[in-house]
Structure 1
Amino acid sequence: MTIRPLPDTLVNQIAAGEVVERPASVVKELVENALDAGATRIDIDLEEGGVRLIRIRDDGSGIAPDELPLAVARHATSKIASLDDLEAVATLGFRGEALPSIASVSRFALTSRRAGEEHGASLPVDGGKLGSVSPKSHPQGTTVEVRDLFYNVPARRKFLRAERTEFSHIEEWLRTLALARPDVELRLSHNGKASRRYRGDGGMATAERIVETLGEEFSKSTLRIDHAAAGLSLHGWIAQPTYSRASADQQYLYVNGRPVRDRSIAHAVKQAYADVLFHGRQPAYVLFLELDPRRVDVNVHPAKHEVRFRDARLIHDFVYRTLHDALAQTRAGEAPVALPSQLAASAAANAGYAQQPWPGPQQQSPLSLRIGEARAGYAQLYGQPAAPVAEFPSLPQANDGETPPLGYAIAQLHGIFILSEAADGLIVVDMHAAHERIGYEKLKAAHDGAGLRTQPLLVPQSVAVSEREADVAERETATLAELGFEVTRSGPQALTLRSVPALLAHGDTEALLRDVLADLREHGESRRIAAARDELLSTMACHGAVRAHRRLSIPEMNALLREMEATERSGQCNHGRPTWARFSLAEIDRWFLRGR
C-alpha cells in the first residue's frame, strides 16, 4: 500500500477511540469546557444512559458564530497559544481533540450566544460532516447536543453497558466534579426526570459539598488536612481509620483542581494508613494537591485522567509525611466514635488471644522472621519491650475538675472490655487492643531513638539481579545505606551484599533487598525496612499485651486509659481494629425509650 494521509473524519474517529470511551467521557469533556467558559450553572439532560441523548447547557461566555466551525476542528482551541502555555496549563480542557472526536461518532449540534449579541448561532455536525452555521434563539451560554452516540461505529457501540451502568458512571463523575467545584450549580436529569441537583453557591465551602455528595457519616469521620511546604500545598479531608471501605470508591484526588488518578500518590496514601488500617480495607479521602503548573505535566493522557510530576519522589514523600503525621494524632478519646457493631468482633478476636501459642519456627511471617530470636536480640539492643499493665502508675480515681477524654473506669466486662464513665456518657475499651497499641508505639519509639543498626555479614553474599535492578542499586547506594544495606555492584547483573539491618538479619534479606529495589525503581523510595520492622515489633507488642480474661483493678484500668490518651494512633490496635467506642447519654436514653 502507498502512504497517504487519512481522511479527517477517520482521523477524528481514531482520536475518539482515546477520548470517548463511553457517555461519561462525553459528559466529562463537555462539562469541563463549560467550566473553562466561566459557567456557574450547568444542566445535563440524558436519555438512555446518554447513548440516545446527551445535552449540556451552560451559562458561560459563549462562542462567536464565526468560531463555531473552528470549535469542532482538530487541535483548535482558545486555551493555549504557545509552548509556554502548554507547560503551564491552568484549564481543564486544552488539547482541542474532544469536540471533533465526539462530533465524528454522533449526531452533533453546537449552539451558542455571547453576551451583547442579538441572537445565537447553531452548527450541526453529522458523523463528522459539518453543516452550515445558522442563526438561532439562545440565551447567553452554550448548548451541546450529542445524539445517537457511536451510531456510525457499531463495533464501539457493542461495548457499551446497560443503561443503568452507563448512567451510574456519569453520576460518579459528576460527584467527583461536584467535590472540586462547590461554587457551580449542577443539575442532572435522566429520561425526562430530575435525578440529582448540586446547588451552587459562591459562598459554599467544600466541607458543605462533602456532606452533600458523600454523606454525613463520611463528614463526621474525617480529619482536616492543610499543610504546605517546598512549594507544595495539600488540603482536604481523610477519613479516620475506623471509617474504612471495602473498595476504593471514596478516594478523590485533585491536582490543581483537576481530578486525576496517580499511582505514586495512591501508594503514598496507602503507606500512610499502613499502620492503622484493618487488613483488606481501603482508606477514604478527598485531597487537593496544589503546585506550580510547570511542575506537573497534564498532557500525558488523551482523556487527561493521569498526570506526570517532575518531582515525583518529593511529592510522594510530601503526601506520605503529611497524612502519616495527621493519622498519628488520632488518639483515643479525641473524637466521638460509636461503633457498637465492632464490639462482638473484638470480643471474639480477644477470646483467642488467651490461648495463642508463641510463634515458633514453623509459624514464621512472610519474611521468615524468627520472633523468639528477634525478641532476645531486641532486648539486647534496646531494652525490654512494653511493661505489663500492672506496672503502670496508678492515677487518682476522684472526679475532680475536668473529666479526661476517656473518663474514669468503673468496671470490667467479661475480662475483655473496660467500662468507663465519661463526661457525656459511656466509654467501652478493648483492653487487649489498647495495650497492644501502647506497647507497639513504645517499641517503635525505642527503636527510632536508638537509630537503625546494621549487622555485617561474616561472608559477603552475592545476589543475582536484573540489569535494571543493578542500575538502581548503583544509583541509590546512599539510600540503601540509610536503610541498613551495604551493597556494591559486582557485575552487570550481580550485587554483593555486605551488611543488613540488624533487627531483620534472621529473615530473608535477599528477598527484602529485591523488594526495596523494586520500590526505589517505581516510587523513588521504600518503606519495606520500616514495614518489616513494624511487623516484628507489632507481633512482640501483641504477645506483651495484657491478655483477655485477666482481671484488672480500677487503678490499673485508669492507668491504661491515661496511657491511651497520651499514645499516638491509640484509636486503633496494630491490626487496624478500633480500641474504643463511645455511647452518649442521649443514645443510651434511646435504648430505654426515655423521654418518649
Structure 2
Amino acid sequence: MSLDDPKISRPVIRQLDEAAINRIAAGEVVERPASAVKELVENALDAGATRVLVEVAQGGKGLIRVTDDGCGMGPEDLPLALSRHATSKIDGSDLLNITSFGFRGEALPSLGAVGRLRIVSRVAGGDAHEIRVTGGEMSPVRPAALSRGTVVELADLFYATPARLKFLRTDRAEMQAIADVVKRLAMAAPGVGITLKDVTEGERVVLRAEPETGDLFDALGARLSGLIGRDFVENAIRVEAEREGVRLTGYAALPVWSRGAAVAQFFFVNGRPVRDKQLYGALRAGYMDVLARDRHPAAALFLDCPAERVDVNVHPAKAEVRFRDPALVRGLVVSALRAALAGSGPRASSSLGEAVLGAALGGAPRVYQMDRPATATLTRARDWQAPAMEEAPALWSAPPSARVEDAAPAVEETARPLGAARAQIHETYIVAQTDSGMVIVDAHAAHERLVYERLKRQMADTGVARQALLIPEIVTLGPDADRLLDHADDLAALGLTIEPFGPGTLAVRETPALLGAVAVEPLLRDILDEIDDLGRSEALKGRLDAVLSRIACHGSVRSGRRMSADEMNALLREMEATPNSGQCNHGRPTFVALKLADIDRLFGRS
C-alpha cells in the first residue's frame, strides 16, 4: 500500500504539554522512592547543610520529608526552583566544570509532577515562605513558620502516575534502598550529621551519623566505623596515592576480611557516590591473587580529580561517570590497592581472633568474681591434689602432645610482628610468642604463599618462558581480531605472541610454556570478553599465576613435617618481609593473632 492511499492516516506531530513533559522526565529522574531521597539530600548538601533529617513513611510511598539547616531560599526563588532546568548550581556556560551534586534543575519539578510536593524555606535574616505543587499544579507562595534552612515534603509519591506504583517493591525493600542511598551520601560528607527515621508508626531511627571532626582519614574512619562497622576500620588499611592530578584516598579491607557478596564496595568521584562498572573492575583487579574466587573485597575509596576531567552528565540519575583518561584512573586504583596491601605487613584480621575466642568460650556463661572460690581455697585444693615428689617423674614422663623448644628465644624476637617460635602443634601449626600475646601460624599455608611470591618475582625478573608452536594456530575472530591486536604487546610480555593473518584472522605463534598444551581460541575469547568488560585483560596472567600457585602448593612445607626452632623462626621472619603473607594462595588466612588481654579474659584472669 502507498502512503498516498487516503485510507492510511498520517501520524500528527504534537507538542506535549508541560505536565506530560514533567511526568516523562520524572520517569528518568525518580525511579523509586530512594531516587527522590537521593535528589533531596543532595540538594541539602549543596545548600551547605551541617545537619540533615530524612523522615520516611511506608517505604517512601506515603511520605518523604527532608529537613536541613542550609542557606535556604527566598520567596522569589521558590517558583523558579520548581521550573524545569532552573538551578543555582551552574550558569550553563561550562558543563564540564560541575562541582555540585545537582546541576540539571530537574529533581523538584519532576517530584512535583508525580506527587504532592510542599517546600518551606527561609534565608538568614528573612522570613519563611512555602509553596505547594500537586500533580504539576503550582500554588502561590505563602508565608510560613520555620527557624532556618529548608523542609521539602513529598507525599503520595506516584499518585499522578499510578501505573508506576505497581512496579515498586514492598515497603521494607524500598526502605532498605533508601537506607543504602542515605548511607552512601553520609560517607561522602563525614562532616555533616545525617539522620534517617521511619515514621510509618511512631518514630524509629534507621540510621544516625553524627558530624565527624579531624583530618581526612580520622573523620572518614569514624564515619565508616559507624556506617559499615567497627570491624571494617579495624581490619582495613589506608589507601593514599596520586598520579597526574588524580588522587585516590580511602580504606580497603584486608583480604582475610572479605565478604561473600559485593555489598561493601563504595566508590566516590569528587565526593559523588557512583556505581561505575570500570571502578568495580579495578577493585577486583587490585585484590586479584589474594582473594578466593567466591569472596569479594570491601572498600570505601574516594577519587578526586579536576572537574573537567570527568563527565558526570552521562546517566539520568548521575550514578555513572565517564573519565577523560579511564586507563589512568584504573591503573591508579589497581596499583594503589596492590601497593597498600603489599605494604601493610603481616596483619591478621581481628575478627579471626575473636572467632577463635568465641569458639573456645563456646557460649559458656560468664563467671563473676563472687562465684569463684577464694584464693586461699584454691591454693589448698592445689596442694591437696598435687602428687608426691616421688610420683612426679612418672606422671611427667609421658610424651607431650606438642613439641616445645628448650631454648628461650631472644627478647628482641618477641618484639617482632610475628614474635618468636615457641612450639609446633601437631606438626602443622607454629605457636609464637609476641610482646602483646601469641600468634598461631599454619606453616603449610604460610610457606605456600612465600614460595608463590618467590616464583612470581623470578618470572618477573627473567620473563615468561615461551614455547613456539611447530605449526602456528590460525584463529578467526572477525572484527574482534583488531581489538585483540591492540593489546598484542601486553600479551607478548606474558608469552602469547599473535600476528595478523588476513582480515579478521590471527596467527598464534607462541604460547606460555607454563601452560603446556593450551586451547588457544577459548583463551583468546576469554581475553576479549575481559577487555570488553574492563578495558584490559588479566585472564592470561591469571592462568599463569594459577600454575605458579599449584607449583608453590606442591613445593611448600607439608603438614606432618617436624620443623626445628631455627626453621620456624626463619619462616616467621620471611613472612614479615614478604608481601601478602597474611593469606595463602587460595585466600585463606595464614595466621591468627591473639592478644594477651583476650587470653586472660578467656581464663577469667581479667
Classify the TM-score, shorter chain. Answer: 0.7 to 0.9
Query: Which of these two proteins has the greater Rg computed from alpha carbons?
Result: 2
For 1:257-272, list aligned pairs within 5 A. Answer: 257-272=271-286
1:449 corresponds in structure 2 to: 461
Name 2:370's counterpart in structure 1: none
Match of 1:332 among 319, 326, 346: 346
CA contact (8 A) 1:48 1:163 kept: yes
The 2-side partners of 1:308 and 1:150 are apart by 31
Q: Does 1:510 align with 2:521?
A: yes
Question: In structure 1, what is the equivalent of residue 508 of structure 2?
Answer: 497
Give the Cα–Cα distance (whole angstroms) in 1 for the partners of residues 232 and 349 of structure 2.
Answer: 14
Q: What amino acid is aligned across from residue 562 of structure 2 in structure 1?
A: R
- By how many angstroms is 1:503 displaced? 2.6
Partner of 2:146: 138
- Equivalent of 2:328 in 314, 317, 341: 314
Give the match for residue 391 of structure 1.
none
Question: Is 2:348–2:589's contact at 8 Å kept on the other side of the alignment?
Answer: no
Amino acid corresponding to residue 475 of structure 1 in structure 2: D
> Does residue 61 of structure 1 match 2:75?
no
Cα deviation, 1:421-457, whole Å, max 9, x if unaligned, reads 2212221111110111011011111111102343332
Q: Does 1:231 align with 2:245?
A: yes
Q: Are 1:415 and 1:550, in contact at CA under 8 Å, matched by a contact in 2? A: yes
1:459 aligned to 458, 465, 471, which one? 471
What is the one-letter code of the residue matched to 2:457?
A: A
Superimposed CA distance per residue, residues 339-389 of structure 1 (whole angstroms, 9 cap, x where no aligned partner): 4647999xxxxxxxxxxxxxxxxxxxxxxxxxxxxxxxxxxxxxxxxxxxx
CA–CA distance in structure 2, aligned partners of residues 329 and 550 of structure 1 = 31
Aligned with 2:107 (options 92, 95, 98): 98
TM-score using structure 1 length: 0.87
| Cα pair distance change 1:183/1:227, threshold 3 Å | same
Q: Is the 8 A contact 2:248 2:303 kept in 1?
A: yes
523-532 vs 175-184, greater mean Cα deviation: 523-532
**How far off is 1:109 after superposition?**
1.0
Which of 127, 135, 153 in structure 1 is aligned with 2:135?
127
Q: Using the alignment, how far apart are the partners of 1:103 and 1:148 within structure 2? A: 11
Could you tell me how far 1:254 is from its partner in structure 2? 0.3
**Could you say what secondary structure the match of 1:146 adopts?**
strand
**3-state SS, counterpart of residue 205 of structure 1:** helix
Q: Which residue pairs with 2:33 in the alignment?
A: 23
Residue in structure 2 matched with residue 39 of structure 1 by the alignment = 49
Instruction: Give, in angstroms, the shift of residue 257 of structure 1.
Output: 0.3
Change beyond 3 A, Cα 1:440–1:264 = same
Instruction: Find the counterpart in structure 1 of residue 549 from structure 2.
Output: 538
Secondary structure in structure 2 of the residue aligned to 1:252: strand
Q: CA deviation at 1:401?
A: 3.0
Sequence identity, in percent? 46
Cα deviation 1:277-316 (Å, max 9, x = unaligned): 1231111111001111111110011111111111111211
Letter in 1 for 2:570: A
Which SS does the other structure have where 1:455 is aligned?
strand
| Structure 2 match to 1:429 | 441
The residue that corresponds to 1:350 in the other structure is none
The answer to whether the Cα contact below 8 Å between 2:256 and 2:349 also exists between their aligned partners in 1 is: no
Counterpart residue type for residue 412 of structure 1: Q
Contact 2:231 2:350 in 1 (8 A): no
SS in 1 for 2:76: helix
CA distance in 1, matches of 2:108, 2:224: 31
In 2, Cα distance between equivalents of 1:261 and 1:72: 28
Counterpart contact for 2:242–2:332, Cα < 8 Å: no
| Structure 2, unpaired ranges of 5+ | 1-10, 360-404
Equivalenced residues, count? 543
Instruction: Tell me how far 1:90 sits from its aligned partner.
Output: 0.5
Aligned pair 1:2/2:28, yes or no? no
Distance 1:475 1:557, change over 3 A: closer
**How far, CA to CA, are the matches of 1:445 and 1:50 in structure 2?**
55
Pick one of 151, 162, 166 that aligns with 2:170: 162
Distance in structure 2 (CA, Å) of the matches to 1:87 and 1:503: 48
Structure 1: stretches of 5+ with no match in the other structure: 346-393
Give me the whole-angstrom Cα distance separating, in 1, the residues matched to 2:471 and 2:296: 43
1:39-438 correspondence runs (5 A):
39-84=49-94, 86-117=95-126, 119-191=127-199, 192-195=202-205, 196-201=207-212, 203=214, 205-332=219-346, 338-339=352-353, 341=355, 398-403=409-414, 404-438=416-450
1:23 CA drift (Å): 1.3
Instruction: Kindly indicate whether the alpha-carbon contact (under 8 Å) linking 1:110 and 1:143 is maintained by their aligned counterparts in 2.
Output: yes
Rate the CA distance shift 1:8–1:492 in 2: closer, same or farther, 3 A.
farther
Give the conservation status (yes or no) of the 8 Å contact 1:227–1:234: yes
User: 1:151, CA displacement in angstroms?
Assistant: 1.1
Distance in 1 between residues matched to 2:566 and 2:489, nearest whole Å: 50
- CA distance in 1 between counterparts of 2:584 and 2:159 reads 56
Equivalent residue number for residue 389 of structure 2: none
Contact 1:419–1:427 under 8 Å retained in 2:
yes
Q: Secondary structure of 1:491's partner?
A: coil
| Structure 2: distance between partners of 1:477 and 1:213 | 45
Q: How many angstroms apart in 1 are the aligned matches of 2:53 and 2:462? A: 61
Q: Deviations over 1:439-481 (max 9, x none)?
A: 10111111111023433322122101131x1220343343333
**Which residue of structure 1 lines up, in the alignment, with residue 384 of structure 2?**
none
Deviations 1:89-134 (A, max 9, x none): 10001111111111111011122122222x2221111011111112
Matched to 1:199, the amino acid is E
- Of 551, 563, 576, the residue aligned with 2:587 is 576
Q: CA deviation at 1:336?
A: 5.8
Give the Cα–Cα distance (whole angstroms) in 2 for the partners of residues 343 and 272 of structure 1. 32
Distance 1:166 1:504 in 2: 49
Paired residue secondary structure (2:250): strand
Give the counterpart letter for 2:172 in structure 1: R
In the TM superposition, what whole-angstrom CA distance separates every residue of 1:522-548 from its partner, at most 9, and x where no partner exists? 433222222111000000000111111
Alpha-carbon offset, residue 226 of structure 1: 0.9
The aligned amino acid for 1:145 is E
Provide the C-alpha distance between the structure 2 equivalents of 1:581 and 1:406, rounded to a whole number of angstroms.
10
For 2:519 and 2:343, the matched residues in 1 are separated by 34
Shift of 1:152: 1.9
**1:329 Cα deviation after fit:** 2.5
Contact 1:330 1:571 in 2 (8 A): no
The answer to whether the 8 A contact 1:337-1:581 is kept is no
Contact in 1 for aligned 2:348/2:591 (Cα 8 Å): no
Partner SS for 1:63: coil
Query: Could you say which residue in structure 1 is the equivalent of 2:5?
Result: none
CA contact (8 A) 1:340 1:581 kept: no
